[in-house]
Structure 1
Amino acid sequence: MFEEQQLGPLIVGLQGTQLTGAERRLLQHPAVGGVILFARNIETPAQIRALTESIRGLRSPALLVSVDQEGGRVQRCREGFTRLPPAGYFGERYRQSADAGLALARAAGLVMAAELRRVGIDYSFAPVLDLDLGLSSVIGDRAFHSDPEAVAALAGAWIDGMHAAGMPCTGKHFPGHGGVMPDSHLDLPVDQRSLAELERADLVPYARLIEAGKLDCAMTAHIVFPALDRLPASFSEVWMNQVLRGQLGFKGLIVADDLGMEGAAVVGDLPERATRALSAGADMVMVCNELDAMADVIAALARAPANASAMARRQRLRDAVTSAPPASEEALARALLRE
C-alpha cells in the first residue's frame, strides 16, 4: 500500500532529542508519513529546529512534524515558548464577554502556531472540541466550554489564528470524550448516549466547523458508543465514513489517536489495530511509543491495498502548511494575551 513519493499512513514517535540511526531508517520507509514530538524530544527552540530539519531532510515530500500544543496541562514545548492558558480559560472569558473570549482564543491560536512554525513543526493536534460536561478529568479544562455552540465559536476563533499563522488544525477527540469518566489512555470508555443526543451536543462543534470549511483534520477517540457500533470510534466505519464523512460532510484528514492506548487494545495487537483503523476509514494512525513493534506494523500495512484518496488527503494537509504571519500581526496577538 506504499508509494515511494507519497506520505505514508504512519505517524511515529521518537526516543530522544536527536534521531538515532534506527529512527532515520524508519522515517525513510514509505509507510511513514509523519512524526509526533513529545516532551522527551524537546529541550530548547534551537534543538527543536535542528531535530525538525534533520527529519525534513530525509524525504520528499517532507514528513509532517506534529505535537500536542493545546496550552494548560498539554503543552509539550515550554522553554522559550509562550505558556498558554488551558482552553477553559477562554471559555471563562467568553462567559464574561463573547467578543473578548473570541479575540483571545484567536490570539492564542496564532501565537501558538507561529512559534511552532518557526522551529519547523508543521501542525499541532489542537484544538480540543470535546465538551466539558463535568465527567472527564482527562478532558476537564482542556475543553473550551460545556455549551456546544460556545465550543464551536471559540474553537473556530482559535483555528482562525492557526490558519493566519500558516498551520492546519486538528479537532479532537471525535465524536467526543467529554461524556465518559474513564481515560482512554488507561481504559476503554463506553458512552451510552444515542446518536440523537450526540447530535445535540458533542457533534455540534464538528458540524459547525466543517460547514464553515475550517476543519483540516479530525482525530478519533478510542471510545465505544454502543448505540451505533460495538467498536471504538477509531476502528468504526460507522463513525468515520457514515457519520463524519457522510452525515457531516467532512473531506479532510482523519487520524486515529495513539494505537498504544488501552482503549485501542480491544481490537488486537498493534499491527491489527493499524490495519483495522485504516480499513475503517482513518487516513493516518499514530504509534507513539512502541517502536520495537514497528516492523510488524509495517509488514501488516504492506499487505493492505493502497488508498489513493487517503494519500491525496495526506498531501493536502502537507500543502496546507504555509508561511508564518507578519510580525506585526503576531505582536498584536501577543499584546492581547498579556492584557
Structure 2
Amino acid sequence: MIGALMLDIAGTELTQEDIELLQAPQVGGMILFARNIQSPQQVRALTDHMRRIRPDILIAVDQEGGRVQRLKQGFTALPAMGRLGELYVHKPEQALWLAEQCGWLMAIEVLAVGIDFSFAPVLDLNAVSDVIGDRAFANNIQDIVPLAAEFLNGMKRAGMANTGKHFPGHGSVKADSHVAAAIDSRSYEEIYQQDMQSFIQLMPQLDALMPAHVIYDQVDPNPAGFSAYWIQHVLRQQLNFDGVLFSDDLTMQAACVVGDAGVRIQVALQAGCDMGLVCNDRAAASTALQAITDLPLPNQQRLARMRGKIPAIQIGQSLDLGPEWHTTRETIEQFKQSFH
C-alpha cells in the first residue's frame, strides 16, 4: 500500500532511522537530492535497498535539466528547457525533435537507476519569476505547449509518468516561494487566459500535477496546494483532472503560512492532494507522519500509475544504456555546445 507522505534521506545509503521511516504505512514515497548521488551504481543500490524494505515505495527526483538536475556524476547534463524555446523561434522542427529526445534521455537514465519518475516538466511561463526563469520552455503558451508535448512524448516512450508543475502557474509571480510568501493578485480570468493554458491544453497527456505554493488572493486566501477551491473545484470538477496531485515541498517558506508541518500535511491532503512532500527537515517529517497516522490511505489506483518501467539491469560506475542512448547523448551535447 502507498502512503500519503514523500520524504527524503540525508546520505547515499539508508540509516537505521531511514529504514524505520520507510516501514511506516503512511510513507509512500522517497525523493532523492544531489547529496544522495555518488554514481549510477550507488543510486541503483540505494533504490534497490529501498524496495527490499518497501516494494511499493514510489521513488522520485527533480531532473528537469539546466539548473535543476540532481543526478549529475555519470549522467547526461541536460540543457535548460528554455534553450529549446530559443531554438523553437528559428528552427521549430529541430526544437520539437530535440524536446522529445531530451524527455526520453532524461527518463531512460532516471529509470535505469531505479527511480520511478522525475517531477517534470515545468509548464510555467518564463515571465517575471527568477526561480522559474529558463526552467520554463518559453515566455508564451504558443511555444510552451508544443515543446512540452514532445518532452512528455519522450518521457512516455521511455516508460515514465510525468508531473506538470506548478499549477496554475508560478512564472508570473516575482517572489521565490522557497524563501518567501508568494502572492499573485491577478483575477481568475487573467490567470486562466494566460498561465493556466499550458496545463489545460496538455492535460490529456499529464499523469500528475504539482500545485504552486502561491496565494492567488483574488481567487482564494490559501496557497493553491492547500486550496480546496483550486484542487477540488477547478482541477477535479471544472477541468476533470483525474491524475495524481503532489504537494510542493511543505517545508518551503511560502507553505509556512498554514502552520507547522503537521497542519500543513493535513490541510494539503484535506484540500485534495494525494501525496505531500516534506523535505530537508527530519523533525518536520516526523511531525507530519504523526499528524496523518490515523488518516485513510490515499487513492491507490491513482498513485500506482506513477510507477516507472524500471529495467532489471546491472549498473556499473557509469551508465551504458545502448546505441540509441549513446547517439542521443551526442546529439544533446552538440546542441548544448551550440549555445556556448
Among 105, 129, 138, the residue aligned to 1:145? 138
**Equivalent residue number for residue 160 of structure 1:** 153
**Equivalent residue number for residue 224 of structure 1:** 215
Among 309, 316, 339, the residue aligned to 2:305? 316
Write out aligned runs for 1:1-40 (5 A). Answer: 6-40=1-35
Structure 1 residue 78 displacement after superposition = 0.7
Q: Check whether the contact 1:149–1:204 (CA below 8 A) recurs between aligned residues.
A: no
In the TM superposition, structure 1's runs of 4+ consecutive aligned residues that sit over 6 Å from their partners are none
Q: CA RMSD in A?
A: 1.6
**Equivalent residue number for residue 167 of structure 2:** 174
Structure 1 residue 43 displacement after superposition = 1.0
Unaligned runs of 5+ in 1: 1-5
Determine helix, strand or coil for the equivalent of 1:317: coil
**Equivalent residue number for residue 42 of structure 1:** 37
Q: Distance in 2 between matches of 1:235 and 1:28?
A: 27
- Aligned identity (percent) is 45
Q: Distance in 2 between matches of 1:321 and 1:239?
A: 31
- 1:101-135 CA distance string (max 9 Å, x none): 111111011111111111111100111001011x1
Aligned partner letter, 2:11: G
Structure 1 residue 218 displacement after superposition = 0.5
**Equivalent residue number for residue 241 of structure 1:** 232
Q: Check whether the contact 2:116–2:306 (CA below 8 A) recurs between aligned residues.
A: no
**Equivalent residue number for residue 243 of structure 2:** 252
Structure 1 residue 291 displacement after superposition = 1.2
Among 191, 194, 197, the residue aligned to 1:204? 197
Aligned length, in residue pairs: 326
Among 309, 329, 333, the residue aligned to 1:334? 329
Q: Check whether the contact 1:165–1:323 (CA below 8 A) recurs between aligned residues.
A: no
Aligned partner letter, 1:92: E
Determine helix, strand or coil for the equivalent of 1:190: strand
2:287 paired with 1:292? no
**Equivalent residue number for residue 293 of structure 2:** 302
**Equivalent residue number for residue 116 of structure 1:** 110
**Equivalent residue number for residue 3 of structure 1:** none
Determine helix, strand or coil for the equivalent of 2:165: strand
Q: Distance in 2 between matches of 1:200 and 1:153?
A: 17
Structure 1 residue 333 displacement after superposition = 3.0
Superposition TM-score, scaled by structure 1 size: 0.92
2:100 paired with 1:86? no
Q: Distance in 2 between matches of 1:200 and 1:293?
A: 37
Aligned partner letter, 1:235: F
Q: Distance in 2 between matches of 1:229 and 1:293?
A: 26
Q: Distance in 1 between matches of 2:259 and 2:54?
A: 31
- 1:283-306 CA distance string (max 9 Å, x none): 0000111212333322211233x2
- 1:177-210 CA distance string (max 9 Å, x none): 1111110011111001111111111111111111
Aligned partner letter, 1:148: I
Structure 1 residue 322 displacement after superposition = 5.6
**Equivalent residue number for residue 60 of structure 1:** 55
Aligned partner letter, 1:67: V
Structure 1 residue 312 displacement after superposition = 2.2
Structure 1 residue 152 displacement after superposition = 1.4
- 1:42-77 CA distance string (max 9 Å, x none): 11111111111111111132x111111111111111
Superposition TM-score, scaled by structure 2 size: 0.92
Aligned partner letter, 1:317: M
**Equivalent residue number for residue 64 of structure 2:** 70
Q: Provide closer, same or farther for how the CA distance between residues 124 and 106 of structure 1 changes in structure 2, counting only shifts above 3 A.
A: same
**Equivalent residue number for residue 187 of structure 1:** 180
**Equivalent residue number for residue 132 of structure 1:** 126
Q: Distance in 2 between matches of 1:190 and 1:16?
A: 35
Q: Provide closer, same or farther for how the CA distance between residues 79 and 116 of structure 1 changes in structure 2, counting only shifts above 3 A.
A: same
Structure 1 residue 147 displacement after superposition = 0.8
**Equivalent residue number for residue 95 of structure 2:** 101
